[in-house]
Amino acid sequence: MRPSEVLRLFQGCGAWLDGHFVLSSGLHSREYLQCALILQHPTLSARTCQALAQRFVSDEVTCVAAPALGGIVVGYETARQLGARAVFAERQEGVLQLRRGFHIGPKDHVLVVEDVVTTGGSVEELIRIIRDTGASVVGVGALVDRSNGWASFDVKYHALLSLDLKTFPPESCPLCKEGVPMSRPGSRGLSTDPHVERP
């Protein structure tokens, strides 16, 4: 699947949003890619995740791991395409961890996947968790990389679509200075700020 096709899918599903967004990383942005609007359609999920899985078919993947919440559907469908099992890590008191009886062992070859990579922080956390079990991480896959080239990993990495979208630290965000209302579309925690909306 070509990047232009992926981009058309986002635009066609109304998944490319414009406004003032607080990302899971804490950075602010004028643009946001809401992968959930694509992943709500099983046929589109299968199509995009099949394209992602094809990049890792030779890596003998036994398990696909994803950070919750955004990566769960991507992880599940990519695992299905690869004939592997799917697990996800979630935050408890701010710390990413495997729960729900999920187990990864030294014999596993694990592919880590994410819907959107902005800083790569959650992926790095998950890689450390997996390696602590003795398992090997064979690669990282994402639907979208919006890190502007900053995210890099010490394993094979492939994103279906890479975009150069500007982000801003909160203290120097021009949208904040303009008073543009904020929304927090991500899944990491709930805002207690009454000025931040959740679409």
The CATH number given to whatever domain includes residue 76 is 3.40.50.2020
- Residue 37, in any domain of the structure: yes
Report pLDDT for 195: 38
- Residue 12, in any domain of the structure: yes
Report pLDDT for 112: 98
Query: Helices 72-82 and 42-53: crossing angle, nearest 10°?
Result: 60
Backbone conformation region of residue 56, classed left if phi is above 0, alpha if psi is from -120 to 50, else beta: alpha
- Residue 171, in any domain of the structure: no
Range of the domain at 68: 3-166+176-197
Alpha-carbon separation of residue 95 from 13, 63, 188 (angstroms): 33, 21, 11
- Residue 148, in any domain of the structure: yes
Report pLDDT for 188: 52
Local confidence band at 186 (pLDDT 50, 70, 90 cut-offs):
low
Task: Give the single-character DSSP code of 153.
Answer: -
Antiparallel, parallel or unpaired: β 196-197 and 28-33? unpaired
